[in-house]
Amino acid sequence: MSEQAEQTGAAKKRREPGEGRIYRPTYINKRTGERQQSAIWWIEYSVNGKKHWESSKSKRRKNAVGLLNQRQGEANGGRLIGPAALRLILEELIRMLDDDYKINSRKSIGRKDRAVVHIQDFFGLDCRVLNITTDRIRAYIQHRFGEGAMPATIRYEVSLLRRSINLAVQAEKLNRCPHIPSIKVSNARSGFFERAEHEAVVENLPDYLRPVANFAFWSGWRKTEILTICWSQVDEIVGTVRLESGTTKNDEPRILPYKEHEGLRELVQGQIATREMLKAGGVICPWVFNNDGKRIKEFRGAWKSACRKAGVPGRLFHDYRRSAVRNFELNGIPRSVAMKLVGHKTESIYRRYAIVAPQDLADAMSKLSEFHGKEDSQGKVEHQLVQFGKK
């Protein structure tokens, strides 16, 4: 046995199980048919019970020893930089994220695609994932703030980056995700419509959008939920509109009894009349809310124009959701019932929508003053009765 082979054998014996080993693999020479030993040293090591093999790309044994020690140090420190990690680039992360969205049938694929554009523009599709460090992520956050992006938007984009890296960790292509800074978001909106404001907006909307706005004001349902209601979801005999499981944001079904509400009842009857008129003209439209038989997809321009003319510029259609919750609260509807009607899964989210207007506070103080006045009057009467010995 050669001196080098003896040293190799000694190195193997000195290493404890699990510490890894250094070796030169053998192969069959295709020309001679003989088994020969490679001149290149390889290393073998284990991380979390899984074995890894890697070439040192060197004929010098000490280079292989150094690489093995490096890999074991990375594994012990929680950040293994193996061959798979070295090859991993951002493009592959985005592909894994796309697959994750498709497998889980996530509804926000469009929003995800728009956010990913900013990530790949900053880092580059060929950027090695190991170069996406905490410092680089902080630089990305600063870059997006400089572009005027809102905190909630940046937090969403960073969450996508975190999710994609965690998917790589789950696939054992990385050992851990770097620390990703948190972004404080305190831009929760508090807009809502008073009845007069809502009626002014409706007055300035095109005829085909007026039923959409009224339905939102009374029900508190989301715009996408309203625009996708089909006649198959309307029970005209019982008087309900239902959303099927999987079509709502929280994936829970929802029912809205409309016959008990005069405004909603007249609204549905009006849409039924429109449906019959279209049918008489040879147009079969499955959508409850439509524009001359065509599905309504978006109406941002008409909405902004109506709000401006009504004197409430900047209002969102989503403000109807807060308005409905506020009206439920003011009319004493039990919170558990209101949550079922509007589709809030948790009470914490519902409370965010339970807006209290200054006039609500003033009305409350007026009622409190009236109550205290009655107490004072009752106290004076009792005092007089005691004085005259009648009590």
Q: Examine the fold and report which residue of 35, 52, 78 is the final residue of a domain before the chain moves on.
A: 78
Q: Residue 242: inside a domain, yes or no?
A: yes
Instruction: Give the 3-state secondary structure of residue 223.
Output: helix
Alpha-carbon radius of gyration of the chain: 34
Q: Residue 180: inside a domain, yes or no?
A: no
Q: Specify whether 133 is located in the same domain as 67.
A: no
Q: Specify whether 165 is located in the same domain as 306.
A: no
- Distance, CA of 321 to CA of 222 (rounded, Å): 7
Q: At what angle do helices 109-123 and 90-103 cross, to 10 degrees?
A: 170
CA-to-CA dists, residue 339 to 224, 235, 352, angstroms: 18, 22, 12
CATH (domain of 251): 1.10.443.10
In this prediction, residue 352 carries a pLDDT of: 54
Q: Are 391 and 385 in contact (CB under 8 A)?
A: yes
Of the chain, the percentage scoring pLDDT greater than 70 comes to 75
Q: What range does the domain containing 113 cover?
A: 90-170
pLDDT band, very low/low/confident/very high, at 115 (cuts 50, 70, 90):
very high
- Distance, CA of 88 to CA of 130 (rounded, Å): 8
Q: Residue 372: inside a domain, yes or no?
A: no
Conformational region of residue 282, where left means phi above 0, alpha means psi within -120 to 50, and beta covers everything else: left
Q: Residue 19: inside a domain, yes or no?
A: yes
pLDDT band, very low/low/confident/very high, at 113 (cuts 50, 70, 90):
very high
Strand partners, 52: 45
Comparing 66-75, 117-126, 261-270, 355-364, which segment has the lowest mean pLDDT?
355-364
Q: Examine the fold and report which residue of 78, 112, 136 is the final residue of a domain before the chain moves on.
A: 78
Q: Residue 381: inside a domain, yes or no?
A: no
For residue range 2-47, list pLDDT tens digits in order: 444 444 444 444 444 446 888 898 888 888 888 988 889 988 877 6
Q: Residue 250: inside a domain, yes or no?
A: yes
Q: Residue 177: inside a domain, yes or no?
A: no
Q: Are 253 and 242 in contact (CB under 8 A)?
A: yes
Give the amino acid at 317: F
Strand partners, 44: 21, 53
Q: Could you identify the residue written with the tokens 């106290």?
A: 379
CA-to-CA dists, residue 370 to 73, 188, 376, angstroms: 75, 35, 10
Q: Specify whether 71 is located in the same domain as 141.
A: no
Q: Specify whether 220 is located in the same domain as 305.
A: yes
pLDDT band, very low/low/confident/very high, at 381 (cuts 50, 70, 90):
very low
In this prediction, residue 9 carries a pLDDT of: 47
- Distance, CA of 218 to CA of 224 (rounded, Å): 16
pLDDT band, very low/low/confident/very high, at 170 (cuts 50, 70, 90):
confident
In this prediction, residue 384 carries a pLDDT of: 53
Is the pLDDT reported for residue 153 higher than 60?
Answer: yes
In this prediction, residue 180 carries a pLDDT of: 85
Number of domains in the chain: 3
User: 350-353: long-range contacts (C-beta < 8 A, 24 or more apart)?
Assistant: 350/325, 352/188, 353/321, 353/322, 353/325, 353/326
Q: Specify whether 258 is located in the same domain as 321.
A: yes
Q: Residue 246: inside a domain, yes or no?
A: yes
For residue range 235-260, list pLDDT tens digits in order: 999 999 998 876 666 567 888 889 88
Instruction: Tell me 33's DSSP state.
Output: -
pTM of the model: 0.54
Instruction: Tell me 4's DSSP state.
Output: H
Q: Are 38 and 27 in contact (CB under 8 A)?
A: yes
Q: Specify whether 312 is located in the same domain as 235.
A: yes
Q: Specify whether 311 is located in the same domain as 208.
A: yes
Is the pLDDT reported for residue 283 higher than 90?
Answer: yes
Q: Examine the fold and report which residue of 118, 153, 170 is the final residue of a domain before the chain moves on.
A: 170
Q: Specify whether 97 is located in the same domain as 74.
A: no
Q: Specify whether 59 is located in the same domain as 113.
A: no
Q: Specify whether 214 is located in the same domain as 338.
A: yes
Q: Specify whether 94 is located in the same domain as 74.
A: no
Q: Specify whether 110 is located in the same domain as 70.
A: no
